[in-house]
Structure 1
């Protein structure tokens, strides 16, 4: 059964070790990137998956600037969470917080989807 990226992230948050070997934001990043890349080659891809792939990085950059008053030079969003957090666990929690806000914004702006 296919789960879109929002549902998948919720599942990972509930049982992370079922999806990634260690609770590390870089592992989660690569897992999500691989999953979305694989789904893009099928007819299962949903709008929310494409929006996440295209917009989450830019959205997160703005979220980090607003939340922490910092803009990070690193290219990948997982590194921003690592820099903002003291531990991998904290970086994961920040990611789940940010992704929830991202998806809330998505649904607010796309009420029919």
Structure 2
């Protein structure tokens, strides 16, 4: 399934802060914590808790969020299907990075062990 340019534009213009509460609700409803969520976000992006809070407060778009991020070198190991799209086949780098984050949050909510989520050898 091909991702349209319109889909990519919508993804880029969404604010991280508008999606973040959904991530929190998803993981907490499955017995995981905000601290674990932040660990996952930090692993992928390099942001610490203060930076995450700042980015939410500044209402940055996903485009700005990922422009400021330092993507983990093992992020390419995040594979599978999210929202009907195979992550490793997404050709738009920003959309792929957003889907990396979505996939990590899903894995956290599903109870996967942290060392597996963080792609530790």
| TM-score category of the 2 structures, normalised to the smaller one | 0.3 to 0.5
More helix by share: 1
Q: TM-score, normalised by structure 1?
A: 0.41
Q: TM-score, normalised by structure 2?
A: 0.39
Higher RCO, Cα 8 Å, sep 6+: 2
